[in-house]
Amino acid sequence: MASYGGMREGSGRPAGASNKATSELKLNLSELAREYTNDALNTLVDVMQSSQSDSARIAAATAILDRGYGRPTKTTALEVNAPFVPTKIQLVAHTGMA
């Protein structure tokens, strides 16, 4: 009986092999996008300087800073200066009498 559909032994791209069609397309798309870098930056600056909407101005300014300096990294530091005092938990049976 023939097997239809599903994963068959030896079918598909081998594990770990790169998808050449997708990687070439991404490279080409990146090159095309880089051609418009100056226009995009000028548009962001124009929106930041002349937009009537505060949210549009903030978004444009944030985009410019992200491109110029990178997005800020999130770091979290926690300092506890209090001495460690263990908590004692005691289980007591309830007798119902007070």
Span 16-25, pLDDT tens digits: 777 666 666 6
Alpha helices in 4-95 (DSSP H): 20-34, 37-50, 54-69
Secondary structure, 3-state, 29-43? HHHHHHCCHHHHHHH
User: What SS3 state is found at 48?
Assistant: helix
Query: Measured between alpha carbons, how far is 71 from 63 in angstroms, rounded to an integer?
Result: 9
CA dihedral 48, 60, 44, 47 (to 10 degrees): -40
The whole-number pLDDT of residue 86 equals: 81
The whole-number pLDDT of residue 67 equals: 78
C-alpha closest to that of 33 among 41, 44, 45, 23: 41
The whole-number pLDDT of residue 27 equals: 67
Predicted confidence (pLDDT) at residue 84 exceeds the cutoff of 80: no
The mean per-residue pLDDT over the stretch 51-59 comes to: 89
Predicted confidence (pLDDT) at residue 1 exceeds the cutoff of 60: no
Span 28-46, pLDDT tens digits: 777 777 788 888 888 889 9
CA dihedral 25, 30, 36, 38 (to 10 degrees): 180
How far is residue 27 from each of residues 9, 21, 37, measured CA to CA in Å?
A: 32, 10, 16
- The pTM score is 0.43
The whole-number pLDDT of residue 80 equals: 75
